[in-house]
Amino acid sequence: MVKIATDSGSDIGPELAQELGITVVPLYVHFGEEVYRDGVDIGADEFYRRLETSPIHPTTSAPSPGDFAKIYEKLAQETDEILAIHVSRKLSATYDAALQGREALAGRKCRIEVVDSQWVTIALGLIATMAAKAAQAGESLQQVLDGVHQAIPQAHLLAFLDTLKYLARGGRIGKAASLLGTALSVKPLLTVREGEAHPAGLARTRGKAIDRLCEFAKSALHVQDLSISHSTTVNEAQTLAERISSFLPQIHLRIARLGPALGVHGGPGALVVALRQGEG
């Protein structure tokens, strides 16, 4: 059976990863000289507490090629077909490290495909989970890979941040830099296009921003999967899930947590909706 790997930039929780047989390679979070594996050595609750109280602003780094080589080596003992789907290469060096890690297994009979998803957080998570379900259904590596390439342009994401300061500090602001001059009280809305953050508007209050997320989901056609991610406001995420379920009752919504590696950039109070469209 095809084995699926991704990175912690997918915000796939440990329970879902185990259920679907997905291997999640952790990114790294640095508080000065202290280094933590995302979701392994530091969890979301501790991370956000430190983010708001530490005088040191954290940074992130990609897994090393050696990290990927170890993962591939382990998976190659169970299969000869591996598909690794990673966070946008415009936002992280993870994809390039994964390619380098694959070189360590050159000459082995195991076929390893590495894909730049062009997405981040739960949009990447939706693609990885779709691939894992296809693998569990017995599809070949080529079939799963074709499905992933089809799904990438069918994914869509809308997020709002309580503030842009964390995104700006982390250097991942991309095209959304145009929003930096807006009033502090205004909530910036962001999307991802071609692997980079882009501005998607402004909302005057959190309530209006949540309404925009709800409208985003309601206006989408042929929704196959939908996930919600939050950094520190689980009650808001649950309320939003209930609102979306009222008009998409056939969709099993998942609520995820924006993990430490992405929380460095998104900050407290972030809320994200991602969905995947398709005909079947």
Question: Which whole number is the average pLDDT over 56-68?
Answer: 95
In the chain, which segments carry CATH 3.30.1180.10? 154-277
Q: What is 154-277's CATH number?
A: 3.30.1180.10
| Four-residue CA torsion sign, 230, 234, 240, 242 | positive
Which stretch of 64-68, 148-152, 160-164, 183-187 has the lowest confidence by average pLDDT? 183-187
* Cα separation, 169 vs 165, whole angstroms: 6
On the question of pLDDT at 240 being above 80, the answer is yes
Domain with CATH 3.40.50.10170 in the chain: 3-153
- pLDDT band at residue 197 using 50, 70 and 90 as cut-offs: confident
CA pair distance 74, 114, nearest whole angstrom: 16
% of the chain with per-residue pLDDT over 70: 93
| Residues 190 and 120: beta-carbon distance below 8 Å | no
Can you tell me the mean pLDDT for 256-261? 96
Res. 177: pLDDT tops 60 = no
CATH architecture of the domain formed by 3-153: 3-Layer(aba) Sandwich (3.40)
Q: Is 173 a residue whose pLDDT tops 70?
A: no
Over residues 96-147, the pLDDT tens digits come to 999 999 998 887 889 999 999 999 999 999 999 999 999 999 999 999 999 9
- pLDDT for the residue numbered 27: 98
Q: Is it the case that residue 183 has pLDDT exceeding 50?
A: no
In 3D space, the residue among 250, 238, 242, 157 whose CA is nearest the CA of residue 196 turns out to be 157
Instruction: Please provide the average confidence, as pLDDT, over all residues in the chain.
Output: 92
- What pLDDT is attached to residue 108? 81
